[in-house]
């Protein structure tokens, strides 16, 4: 089997280490003898390149870079990106990426950045004098069918761990939150929700990177991408994730969530 992994503007949207999500997906596929081709979806990518991808990863960025990306992600490219998400191409989008998948992002300074309108959400940066949302985050995944799929595979409710670093606050419209905040800020530090989930696209503020900290999400993305591409059910055998399990237990203890160690 073979997967084409699209990486959104890796140079501009790589500020917060989310390339780790690309590496995690690539290795977890290769460890299962699935070949992976990484395709940069950036200013130089031809439109037909976008059509080929089976899975998309988008990382975080500073406001300035987000504005540059949106100047390029217009017209046919924007329409193609929307069509991919609507056609159930799985993806994981972190922080600055989901802000651009929403209706708009109002940065700390400068004009409102119109988004792609794929996700029914808006994001607003309250200004540099406001507390920045920085720190560890833990959240119970509640969005379906993702939560149901993960609970069936894991045998318990999935809890995701990550690290936040954002000034923007996100407010959801008619779209599922990805999860319920257990500790940390989440979308805005007010409504208790983290991220968003639409079709097979995961939007989150959790860097870390997200996927090495939560390998079950990486496997979900890979399985869904392969199922969609090969039109057959894909059920992975587990990998040896003992290092991730130990790291998760350490974080649950550090965050006073040791009762979740069975979710490690
Ligand atoms: N620049 C955006 C904000 O500050 C996104 C930050 C990020 O991607 N971590 O909210």
Q: How many Å lie between the centroid of ligand 1 and the Cα of residue 38?
A: 24
| Residue 211 banded pLDDT, cuts 50, 70, 90 | very high
Selection from 208, 193, 98 nearest residue 162 by Cα: 208
The average pLDDT across 146-171 equals 98
For residue 66, give the ligand 1 atom closest to its CA: 1
Q: How many Å lie between the centroid of ligand 1 and the Cα of residue 237?
A: 35
Q: Is the pLDDT of residue 63 over 90?
A: yes
Q: Is the pLDDT of residue 264 over 90?
A: no
For residues 241 and 185, give the distance between their C-alpha atoms in angstroms, rounded to a whole number: 27
Number of domains in the chain: 1
Q: Is the pLDDT of residue 72 over 90?
A: yes
Q: What is the CATH number of the domain that holds 204?
A: 3.40.50.880
| Residue 239 banded pLDDT, cuts 50, 70, 90 | very high
Residue range of the domain that includes 42: 2-137+162-238
Query: Which residue has the least CA distance to atom 8 on ligand 1?
Result: 60
For residue 60, give the ligand 1 atom closest to its CA: 8
Is residue 151 one of the residues assigned to a domain? no
Is residue 253 one of the residues assigned to a domain? no
List the catalytic residue out of 95, 125, 133, 166.
95
pLDDT tens figures, 16-30? 999 999 999 999 999
pLDDT tens figures, 88-129? 999 999 999 999 999 999 999 999 999 999 999 999 999 999
95 lines ligand 1 (CB under 6 A): yes
Kindly tell me the burial class for residue 159, based on how many C-beta atoms sit within 10 Å of its own C-beta (0-12, 13-18, 19 or more).
buried
Contact 161, 104 (CB under 8 A): no
Q: What is the pLDDT of residue 77?
A: 96
> Residues near 235 by Cβ (< 8 Å), separated by ≥ 6?
223
Name the token pair of 258: 């040791």
Q: Is the pLDDT of residue 263 over 80?
A: no
Is residue 245 one of the residues assigned to a domain? no
DSSP string, 150-219: HHHHHSS--EEEEEEEES-EEEESSSB-SEEEEES-TTTSSS-EE-EEETTEEEES-BS-HHHH-HHHHH
Is residue 64 one of the residues assigned to a domain? yes
For residues 213 and 204, give the distance between their C-alpha atoms in angstroms, rounded to a whole number: 13
Is residue 156 one of the residues assigned to a domain? no
Q: Is the pLDDT of residue 262 over 90?
A: no
pTM beyond 0.85, yes or no: yes
Is residue 177 one of the residues assigned to a domain? yes
Is residue 108 one of the residues assigned to a domain? yes
Q: How many Å lie between the centroid of ligand 1 and the Cα of residue 151?
A: 30
């Amino acid at each position: 089997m073979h997967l084409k992994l699209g990486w959104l503007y890796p140079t501009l949207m790589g500020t917060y280490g989310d390339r780790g999500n690309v590496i995690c997906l690539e290795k977890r596929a290769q460890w299962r003898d699935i070949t992976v081709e990484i395709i940069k979806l950036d200013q130089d990518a031809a439109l037909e390149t976008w059509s080929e991808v089976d899975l998309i990863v988008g990382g975080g960025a500073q406001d300035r870079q987000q504005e540059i990306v949106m100047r390029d992600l217009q017209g046919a490219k924007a329409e193609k990106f929307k069509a991919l998400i609507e056609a159930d191409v799985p993806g994981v989008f972190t922080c600055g990426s989901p802000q651009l998948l929403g209706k708009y992002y109002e940065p700390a300074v400068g004009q409102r950045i119109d988004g792609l309108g794929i996700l029914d959400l808006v994001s607003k940066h309250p200004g540099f004098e406001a507390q920045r949302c920085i720190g560890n985050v833990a959240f119970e995944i509640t969005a379906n069918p993702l939560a149901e799929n993960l609970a069936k595979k894991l045998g318990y409710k999935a809890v995701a761990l990550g690290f936040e670093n954002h000034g923007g606050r996100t407010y959801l419209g008619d779209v599922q939150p990805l999860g319920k905040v257990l500790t940390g800020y989440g979308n805005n530090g007010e409504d208790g929700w983290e991220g968003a989930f639409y079709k097979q696209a995961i939007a989150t503020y959790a860097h870390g990177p997200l996927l090495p900290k939560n390998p079950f999400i990486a496997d979900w993305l890979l399985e869904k991408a392969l199922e969609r591409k090969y039109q057959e059910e894909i059920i992975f055998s587990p990998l040896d994730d003992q290092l991730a399990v130990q790291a998760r237990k350490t974080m649950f203890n550090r965050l006073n969530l040791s009762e979740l160690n069975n979710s490690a």
